[in-house]
Amino acid sequence: MTDFSIIGKPIAMIDAAGKTTGAGKYTDDLSVPGMLYGKILHSPHPHARIRGIDTSRALKLEGVIAVVTGKDAPNPFGILPVGHDEHALALDKVRYVGDNVACVAAVSEAIAEKALELINVDYELLPAYFDPEESMKAERDLIHDNKPNNIEKDYHHVFGDPVRT
C-alpha cells in the first residue's frame, strides 16, 4: 500500500484561531484596486408575471458599471441533464419570494444598493400556491407554463430488474 502524505492523517488547522476569534479573512473581507461590487434584486412576490423591467435610472447612476436582467442571460442550465431548465435570472415570471430578477455591478456596495432601488419592475400578480396538493389541481396560472399540474419534475429511477425479487 502506498504511503499518502495527507490522506488519513491529522492535519493542523492553521486558520482555526483566526476563524474562532473573528480575525479570519473571508472572501467578503477582500478588497483589491478596481474591484466591483455586485448586488441582486430579488422578487418580493411568490408568483408574478414580469411585464417589464426598467433599468434606465440605475444605469444612469454614477458608479454603476452594468445592470443585467434575464433577457441578458436567457440560456437555461442545470446540474442534471434532465434538469437543464433553470435560469440565473427570471425571464418571464417570478416563482417564489426571493427569485433573482436583476443584477447590478458598481464601484461600491452603497452604489450597488442604491441602483437596486432605482430598478422598476412591473409585476402582474398571479395566484400563489402554498399547498402542494392544491397546486397540482391548477389548470391555469401554472408556475411553469409548460409543466401541467404544477409538477416541476417527475423522476422514475429503476435500478436492476424490478420484476425479480
Q: Where are the domains of the chain?
A: 33-128
d(CA 129, CA 96): 10
DSSP tally for the chain: helices H, then strands E: 4, 6
CATH architecture of 33-128: Alpha-Beta Complex (3.90)
pLDDT value at residue 165 = 58
Full-model pTM: 0.78
- In what order do the strands lie in the sheet containing 48-54? 93-94, 48-54, 120-125
Tell whether the model's pLDDT for residue 153 goes beyond 60: yes
Tell whether the model's pLDDT for residue 2 goes beyond 70: no
- For residues 112 and 139, the model is more confident at 112
